[in-house]
Amino acid sequence: MDTTMSSHNASHMSSTAPPTGGLEGVEAEVEALRRAIEAEQAEIAAISDGMQELYQRNACEEMLCRLERRIQVIENKGVDCVHWRIEDIEQKRSKCKQGEHIASPEFSAGGLDGFRFHFYPRGDDFAEEGYCSLYLLIPIDTKISRTLFLGRTRHGPVESEATKNCGVSEMCVLSNEIDKATGSIVIGVDDLKILQAPFMAETRKKLQLVT
């Protein structure tokens, strides 16, 4: 009888006692979650700061590039002749099909930016076999006077616009203009004059200061 009662009381006490570490465990878990959230927030803040710094750096680099480009335009205001040398022209021509072109770096001249040569070693879609084509890309709403040349072959002077007289479909027979000693050709524009342009760098002769 005593043994049964003792066993029953023990069982009752076991079922009503709170689980060991129950509340403490929940508090510890909440604390761990809080620390994890703080760490994640700190990481997000660091990433945000890094992105802001990167954005500012890129903005500064872009502004610097624009400034350098603007300075180049002003420095090249008096330029009316541009030469573009293409080395190993036979090798480059072998990699081109008719209608495919090689583009020059963009350049400025006459106080205007945005010029570029397009050279077709095997001619454009309208050229006869053996001829090469040469075009001078001109900024929009701009009219110029120019003479194109490739080696000894010249075309001009003529007035050109972005969509009119911007190049020559059958400029010359390319093989006749290759420098045999170097394997190169020289393409260019000469007597370049800006006749009309909406945005052109100008130089000042008079400066007025106000305090």
The reported pLDDT for the residue numbered 14 is: 43
The string of pLDDT tens digits covering residues 37-95 is 888 888 888 888 888 877 777 778 888 877 777 787 888 888 999 999 999 999 999 99
Give 23's pLDDT tier (boundaries 50, 70, 90).
confident
Q: Are 89 and 170 in contact (CB under 8 A)?
A: no
The string of pLDDT tens digits covering residues 117-174 is 999 999 999 999 999 999 999 999 999 999 999 999 999 999 999 888 899 999 999 9
Cis amide prior to 157 (ω within 30 degrees) = yes
Q: Are 190 and 81 in contact (CB under 8 A)?
A: yes
Q: Are 115 and 69 in contact (CB under 8 A)?
A: no
For the domain spanning 79-196, the CATH number is 2.60.210.10
The distance of Cα 136 from the centroid of its chain, to the nearest Å, equals 21
In the chain, the amino acid numbered 161 is E
The reported pLDDT for the residue numbered 91 is: 95
Contacts with 165 (C-beta within 8 Å, 6 or more apart), sequence order: 158, 159
